[in-house]
Amino acid sequence: MSNDTLQKGPVHVLPSLPYAENALEPVISARTIEFHYGKHHKGYVDNLNKLIAGTEYAALKLEKLIGETAGKPDKAGIFNNASQVWNHTFFWNSLKPKGGGEPPAALKKKIETDFGTMDALKKELTTAATTQFGSGWAWLVLEGSVLKVVKTGNADSPLTKGMKPLLTVDVWEHAYYLDYQNRRADYVAAVLDKLINWEFAALNLE
Ligand code: MN
């Protein structure tokens, strides 16, 4: 195979899940992961590769591609798929089996400085996740030197708003409908209590 042939192959690949498909049960079922990771996330990767094939965008790394296409209506297809690829990879890493509990000490101290208490942060995350109208994401981010909770619609990302994401919760219906139907608040509460990966958030703070 020549180099020329290799360069025409898919630029972006679906990253491996950081755990088994059934590892988040009973909070998120293997069936949900099978569709959410295996169909939705994979679909964004496949669509992105099709959209950028043979274009200048094929040479860009994912975060650069997101920054270059954000806010450009004629590039919305590329942006939406690229950002959804990034958001989903970040979401899988924001969860872990037997998550929840207490953050590492340095992150906990920072949370207490910026939000007052862990409960206050969880309440803000829950409000953001449950009041996002329609599809989107709730995030813990660092803006400047301050932790904040923000929500974004559809594929939008804090990355394009100059913020550093620490963790996210996917609140698209495909994230919870098989397991929780319309009960988004129950899904969010279970994720925050049992799956959220504070160690991952702490690594992103460093
Ligand atoms: Mn999703």
- Check whether 1 has a pLDDT greater than 50: no
pTM for the structure as a whole = 0.94
In a domain, 80, yes or no: no
* Cα diameter, the chain: 59
Pairing of strands 136-143, 146-153: antiparallel
Instruction: Count other C-beta atoms under 10 Å from residue 158's C-beta.
Output: 22
| Residue 175 CA to ligand 1 centre (angstroms) | 5
In a domain, 28, yes or no: no
Which pLDDT score is estimated for 8?
Answer: 55
Domains of the chain: total: 1
Fill in the DSSP letter of residue 37.
I
pLDDT digits (tens, 9 = 90+) for 19-71: 999 999 999 999 999 999 999 999 999 999 999 999 999 999 999 999 999 99
User: CATH number for the domain including 121?
Assistant: 3.55.40.20
45: its two tokens: 């990767």
| Residue 155 CA to ligand 1 centre (angstroms) | 9
In a domain, 186, yes or no: yes
| Residue 93 CA to ligand 1 centre (angstroms) | 13
In a domain, 74, yes or no: no
In a domain, 198, yes or no: yes
What domain range includes position 160? 105-205
- Cα separation, 37 vs 16, in Å, equals 9
| Residue 135 CA to ligand 1 centre (angstroms) | 9
Sign of CA dihedral 88, 122, 125, 178: positive
115: its two tokens: 């939000």
| Residue 116 CA to ligand 1 centre (angstroms) | 30
| Contacts of 129 by beta carbon, 8 Å cutoff, 6+ apart | 138, 151, 169, 171, 184, 188
Which pLDDT score is estimated for 174?
Answer: 97
| Residue 9 CA to ligand 1 centre (angstroms) | 25
26: its two tokens: 């009973």
pLDDT digits (tens, 9 = 90+) for 69-96: 999 999 999 999 999 999 999 999 999 9
